Amino acid sequence: MTQYHPLTIQDAISLAKKIPGHFRKDAELSCREIGDGNLNLVFHITDENGKSIIIKQALPYAKVVGESWPLSLDRARIESEALNIQHSICPDLVPQVFYSNRELAITVMEDLSDHTIMRKGLIEGTAYPLFAKHIGRFLARTLFYTSDLGMNQQEKKERVKQFINPDLCKITEDLIFEDPYRDSPNNSFSEDIRDEAEALWNDTELHLEVALLREKFLTHAEALIHGDLHTGSIFATPESTKVIDPEFAYYGPMGFDIGAVIANLLLNYSAQPGWSSDEQTLHERRERLLRMVSDVWTEFETNFRALWNEEVLDITAKTPGYQDLYVQKILRDAIGFAGCKMVRRIVGLSHVADIDTIEELAIQEQAKRTALAIGKSLIKINRNAVSIGEVIQKAEQAA
Ligand code: ADP
Ligand code: MG
Ligand code: MG
Ligand code: MG
């Protein structure tokens, strides 16, 4: 029973009963598998009174384009350990883990079904007025407190070891930083934008920037990053934000997580002509999304600088000018990574519903071209950018 096997519904129910403090031994439990089934199983278990928990289990392979791609089960350990660290740093923004089991590759956690996956909410036009404040604080605190700025450097080195995550990092290295820029069998795009894909394969200026960003992803062990912080990894309501699914977590560049959030807001921005019923709505939603992009950065920067000023112990971190250069580096990286994340969602293996579920194909095509225009320009400006305003400007120009 403790040896690894994919759980059945019955297994999930028996397991749920054994976790102390949740269900009575004689409780009538019902269980549904609610994951998308590509990488992981997600079981939702409830009793007669509506008390509920989630059991997430990693599968030893990923199902991609009908093929099986072996994937280490160790990512379940990484996910539960990352959730625990993030929860200890931001208890209101991360689900609580109740139990985890390495052999079975499971994480048992708080049920967040009263929240909506943010990608879905944004497609439906929901406003999230507190999102930027919440995610800015999440980013600043998780990145600061897991870095050499916020923890003892020897302990940090132990953490780096704890979060070596080669299989999942390779997915990012290949699918984000490599395939979209060459004619790879892993790419996937609609024929109506073949001209755009081919332009990417021939854009040597872009290739140099992406090579430099890939190098940062491979080598810059700055902080414990989430690694997959798109709007499908965020549960939200207008009042609350919860970050889930850190199975890609490893020690990497801080800008990668910030860039992921910005990219996904801008993908939704690009897609809005497919979701807004009239010009006025389109205008309002796009303004709101750009405001969110700008506020995510500002909230991150404000919180991060405050932590630096109040919590840093090292004398070197007080060197005049150092904090400003450090923050500028994070901004530039965030802009570059945001661009890469937008491009891959249009021509690479895995797309986003914001764009791909637009019914009218001409509007869908235009949304793809808008997203690519923004993504490419962010990649090209990243090394010289000085403010988040440049991102807003590029988005407005492309729309
Ligand atoms: P994957 O790594 O396979 O993408 P996720 O952790 O993103 O798995 O979960 C997949 C889906 O399962 C989510 O989109 C959500 O619908 C559901 N889910 C995951 N965690 C929870 C949770 N704590 N509460 C409620 N639903 C959840
Ligand atoms: Mg998924
Ligand atoms: Mg997910
Ligand atoms: Mg995942």
- Residue of 32, 53, 56 with the most ligand 1 atoms within 8 Å of its CB, for mutation: 56
DSSP 194-246: HHHHHHHHT-HHHHHHHHHHHHHHHH---EEE-S--SGGGEEE-SS-EEE---
- 200-234 pLDDT tens trace: 999 999 999 999 999 999 999 999 999 999 999 99
Do the strands 116-117 and 223-225 form a parallel or antiparallel pair, or are they unpaired? Answer: unpaired
Does 244 contact ligand 1 (Cβ within 6 A)? yes
Above 70 in pLDDT, residue 189? yes
The answer, yes or no, to whether residue 65 has pLDDT greater than 60, is no
Dist. CA 298–CA 301, nearest whole Å: 5
- Between the CA of 39 and the centroid of ligand 2 the distance, in Å, is 7
Q: How far apart are CA 264 and CA 282, in angstroms?
A: 17
Question: How far apart are alpha carbons 52 and 114 in whole angstroms?
Answer: 11
Assess: ipTM above 0.90.
yes
Contact yes or no for 108/53 (Cβ under 8 A): yes
Regarding the beta carbon of 171 and ligand 1, being less than 6 Å apart is answered no
CATH superfamily, region 116-398: Aminoglycoside phosphotransferase (APH), C-terminal lobe (3.90.1200.10)
Asked whether 42 lines ligand 1 (CB < 6 A), one says yes
Burial of 313: CB neighbours in 10 Å, binned 0-12, 13-18, 19+: exposed
pLDDT at 34: 96
Is any atom of ligand 1 closer than 6 Å to the C-beta of 179? no
- Determine contact, residues 258/139, Cβ cutoff 8 Å: yes
Q: What is the pLDDT of residues 339-348, one digit of tens each?
A: 999 999 999 9
Q: Do 9-110 and 116-398 show the same overall fold?
A: no
For ligand 1, whether the C-beta of 39 sits within 6 Å is yes
Which class would CATH give 9-110? alpha beta
pLDDT band at 164 (very low <50, low <70, confident <90, very high): very high
Q: How far does the centroid of ligand 3 lie from the alpha carbon of residue 305, in Å?
A: 30
In angstroms, what is the span from residue 228 Cα to ligand 3's centroid?
8
User: Please, which pLDDT band fits residue 100 given cuts at 50, 70 and 90?
Assistant: very high
137 assigned ligand-binding residue:
no
Element (H, E) at 397: helix 389-398
C-beta separation of 59 from 40 below 8 A: yes
Centre of ligand 2 from the C-alpha of residue 55, in Å: 15
Overall pTM > 0.95: yes
Per-residue pLDDT at 388: 98
- Using CA positions, which residue lies closest to atom 2 of ligand 1? 245
Of 369, 191, 361, 196, the C-alpha closest to 270 is 369
By percentage, how much of the chain surpasses pLDDT 90?
A: 94
| C-alpha of residue 108 to centroid of ligand 3, in Å | 15
Q: 66: pLDDT confidence band, cut at 50, 70 and 90? A: low
Mean pLDDT of the chain: 96
pLDDT band, very low/low/confident/very high, at 68 (cuts 50, 70, 90): confident
pLDDT over threshold 60, residue 309:
yes
Amino acid at position 44, single letter = H
User: How many other C-beta atoms lie within 10 A of the C-beta of residue 143?
Assistant: 28
Share of the chain above pLDDT 70, in %: 98
Name residue 224's beta-bridge partners.
251
Domain boundaries, the chain: 9-110, 116-398
